[in-house]
Amino acid sequence: MSGNPSHRRYLGPRSLERLRESLSGRDLAIVGQVADLRLMSGRQIKAVHFALIEHQGERAAARACQRVLARLTRDGLLVRLERRIGGVRAGSAGFVYGPGQAGQKVLGLEGPRRRLYEPTSRFVEHTLAITELVVRVTEAARRGALEILSLQSEPHCHRVYAGLGGQSVLRPDLFLALGVGELELRWFVEVDRGTESLPVVLSKCRTYAAYYRSGREQAMHGVFPRVCWVVPDETRAARVGQAIARDRKLEVRMFVVTTDTKAVGVLTGATA
């Protein structure tokens, strides 16, 4: 992770307030979303927060994004990982950012401050894949294809329920409620990178089935969301889909399996 933790400046109440007052609405939105999703690449931040319609072309948007991210990193609101996505050719768009301690203070996040240590490649890949889905859903909303009614990342999307062995917790990667026309589509989302074995995937599916049987979600919202598994390619989609279909303990209609490129279409009901 870039930066030397031993040289970070202390932010007292007055300094914190001055820093907060210096931030624009966009600054706060960037810091807040990075904290919420845990990691975002420079490209992903640009796609969400530096829309081309607000700038004179791609280069102007990229330069504005670079300036803002450099300032937010300098002030400790964000931290930049040493690892870069896409190699050196990706340039600054390939840098990966996490929440800085100053950013957590500015946002007023409760609990102990999270220190972002250099995470594993597996964690980075999985987290950025979740973020990428959020980016694509956001872009679809910008085009008018859908309305984001609710978007909950971890741990806000976790569900606590009474299981057979006592209290249990369902941990989706995302919860989405999308408005499409006159419909509200509710989803639990699992982003799979092909690194888990099929027994592990099926175990997670059975956790969803157990949560469904608890009736808790239906009692609170009147409906149980479908579960969308988002996988890297068609081969993996076929394997996961077949495994779910063969498991007699699962209600197949509860689950849908799709690929990264088709996910938004499936989530909006545009494609099966």
- Radius of gyration for the alpha carbons in the chain, expressed in angstroms and rounded: 20
For the segment 60-66, the average pLDDT, to the nearest whole number, is: 91
**pLDDT tens digits for 127-165?**
999 999 999 999 999 999 999 999 999 999 999 999 777
> pLDDT band at 18, cuts 50/70/90?
confident
> pLDDT band at 6, cuts 50/70/90?
very low
Q: How far is CA 148 from CA 51, 136, 152, 230, 261, in A?
A: 18, 12, 11, 19, 19
**pLDDT tens digits for 163-181?**
777 899 999 999 999 999 9
Please say if the pLDDT value at position 8 is more than 70: no
What are the start-end ranges of the H helices in the chain?
Answer: 13-22, 25-37, 42-49, 58-74, 101-107, 121-142, 198-214, 216-221, 234-246, 263-267
Nearest residue to 121 (alpha-carbon basis) of 153, 79, 85, 73: 85
The pLDDT value recorded for residue 271 is 74
Nearest residue to 156 (alpha-carbon basis) of 26, 41, 18, 37: 37
Length of the chain: 272
> Are the C-beta atoms of 173 and 228 separated by less than 8 Å?
no
